[in-house]
Structure 1
């Protein structure tokens, strides 16, 4: 009863701050492909084969690539875009499990009969719900609340901090953490961020990106805008960033140019305020961060070649009430290691393909979760979608040729009907196609049309008729630089 009461209060505060949960939930981009002929076969054998396939998605162990030297498997994309993809996905979708799905339990061997019970706690648009469902600063209510960092643990403090305070990099004198609850014996509240959805605090890079959005809002307030005007301005810049900065970096340029010029040709949302989230997008085509994530990062000047798992926020704060109260000052990110903010090239995201870097157990569990999730949602096979789009599908030898040697045996059961997520990654990694540089034709079409629709039906949409932008461009680097202005005040 107490937990439900707290949940209702959190939802009320989120609505007051501007979040608008979607009543529409989820939909199918390709409803004509919902029949059994277009799906993976039901039954325990498919689940077993998916588990075996997931185990092969673990990138074989090798000497870890040097973060700032381009190595085999690295793309040309700055590493920060891995976390922008993850941020956008979290901002668009916060799914509440339906009672129907929960009732199926582990013994269910087939997909959900309907999506009607799935609810999206987000508005479904690119409205920065994940940013604005957090508290404002009580000392200046137009500003978003930020958290302080804990004192540095070492004595080698200030020279490199001053040097890194430029160009959007670290500034340990600023409030550079998410606002956090105090220590608690309840693990669910112990130093967790003060916002209803804590997924953006899973690792330090994503958490610091969320902080950058909070700071960017405050920088717009410092420029003289009201809270509503600053929120509108940041939302519109965010939408531009997604369409004009992120989309061309992860999708086929021809598909992007077509969609931005003429709009979607396959899927258009119904009416403003009635948008649903396509499951093909959120559960398959836009699940890109696992493939893009590096095994290690140069996080800042003090922490170089740090394994990705060691950047988990909980690993830094400590469990059971141990560790610092907030993010330690030396753990503030140096954005110039992730974005081209200086002359030195930043580290890069990994190529898009069917391999996931990291600890084998964690990578396999992540792959299993996404493969079985797509199966349970009744996503059509990659080949079914390709045929629906009028494309020649990858199948049999042409599919196997896109995969590394160690995956081909496990992929054999899926040569004719491939899980959509795996198919999209295989298509992106095709050495005779995109070769990992961006998504292929199926993935590009789903992502570009989905994001166009979601922007078009967002609050203060930059795609709305007669809407004029008050800025020329706004990239991820511009966000970090705008956040840096907040540090300078």
Structure 2
């Protein structure tokens, strides 16, 4: 649970969802905005659709108007909207959110760590035999006495930031996420790891022997050509 929340650090305050319909302008909106047309669902409209080119790299030219923005790094910095989730006091509570007044996503993650009794990041790293972050690498937590026993969610973000420059998960976070996926596939009697462990993608791809999400989207026919 804590490991899979690493994506919270990659959320931007706003996104360009598409380049616009033929007779309109691009749809650019904030993640949360109570007064405007934001990125939450449940608001059907002709301009609310996804151009996958805004999220995935279909062109190599960084200067192309259709080039996507790079992902935010995996680190300990969160976008401002995540500290004031929809429905935060003094306004009415949004559907699905607790009424306890804690509407900061970071706070909610840390509270879950305590409520579920999740071991610290350092404890899990030692069990795994992975590199353990030093108190100096977690110095910002020293005033809270958490530099030597760090909540797993924060530890995984810091580990990626310090050891992998924010480009990928570190040894603890990466192993947890990877082993869960592999474990689910192995436990599924119908998965390709069970039925045919040597299976490889056979659909067409832009680069022979390398099948990526862009190839899947292209094959699915959901990537119309852009002018």
TM-score normalised to structure 1 length: 0.35
Which residue of the other structure, out of 359, 378, 397, is the alignment partner of 2:136?
397
Does the alignment pair 1:413 with 2:145?
Answer: yes
C-alpha displacement at 1:466, in angstroms? Answer: 4.0
How much is the aligned-residue C-alpha RMSD, in angstroms? 2.6
C-alpha displacement at 1:377, in angstroms? Answer: 1.3
In the alignment, the residues of structure 1 paired with residue 30 and residue 167 of structure 2 have an alpha-carbon distance, to the nearest angstrom, of 24
In the alignment, the residues of structure 1 paired with residue 156 and residue 141 of structure 2 have an alpha-carbon distance, to the nearest angstrom, of 19
Contact in 2 for aligned 1:308/1:358 (Cα 8 Å): no
Which residue of the other structure, out of 307, 311, 317, is the alignment partner of 2:39?
311
Which residue of the other structure, out of 176, 181, 188, is the alignment partner of 1:451?
181
Contact in 2 for aligned 1:285/1:424 (Cα 8 Å): yes
Alignment of 1:10-89 (within 5 A): none
CA distances 1:81-100 after superposition (whole Å, capped 9, x unpaired): xxxxxxxxxxxxxxxxxxxx
Distance 1:439 1:466, change over 3 A: closer
C-alpha displacement at 1:292, in angstroms? Answer: 1.1
C-alpha displacement at 1:440, in angstroms? Answer: 1.0
Determine the structure 1 residue equivalent to 2:199.
Answer: 469
Contact in 2 for aligned 1:455/1:463 (Cα 8 Å): yes
Q: Secondary structure at the match of 1:311?
A: coil
Q: Secondary structure at the match of 2:158?
A: helix
Does the alignment pair 1:377 with 2:94?
Answer: no
C-alpha displacement at 1:334, in angstroms? Answer: 1.0
Determine the structure 1 residue equivalent to 2:75.
Answer: 353
C-alpha displacement at 1:459, in angstroms? Answer: 4.6
Does the alignment pair 1:298 with 2:27?
Answer: no
C-alpha displacement at 1:442, in angstroms? Answer: 1.1
Determine the structure 2 residue equivalent to 1:439.
Answer: 169
Which residue of the other structure, out of 150, 157, 165, is the alignment partner of 1:425?
157
Q: Secondary structure at the match of 1:297?
A: strand
Q: Secondary structure at the match of 1:460?
A: coil
For structure 2, the residue ranges without an aligned partner over 5 or more in a row are: 20-24, 33-37, 87-102, 203-209
Greater Rg, structure 1 or structure 2?
1
In the alignment, the residues of structure 2 paired with residue 442 and residue 386 of structure 1 have an alpha-carbon distance, to the nearest angstrom, of 6
CA distances 1:406-445 after superposition (whole Å, capped 9, x unpaired): xx26763211211111111111111xx2111111111112
TM-score normalised to structure 2 length: 0.71
Contact in 2 for aligned 1:380/1:420 (Cα 8 Å): yes
Does the alignment pair 1:479 with 2:216?
Answer: yes
Q: Secondary structure at the match of 1:383?
A: helix
For structure 1, the residue ranges without an aligned partner over 5 or more in a row are: 1-282, 318-326, 401-407
Contact in 1 for aligned 2:6/2:156 (Cα 8 Å): no
Paired residues in the alignment total 185
In the alignment, the residues of structure 1 paired with residue 188 and residue 69 of structure 2 have an alpha-carbon distance, to the nearest angstrom, of 32
Determine the structure 1 residue equivalent to 2:51.
Answer: 334
Which residue of the other structure, out of 354, 362, 374, is the alignment partner of 2:85?
362
Higher helix share goes to which structure? 1
In the alignment, the residues of structure 2 paired with residue 365 and residue 485 of structure 1 have an alpha-carbon distance, to the nearest angstrom, of 35
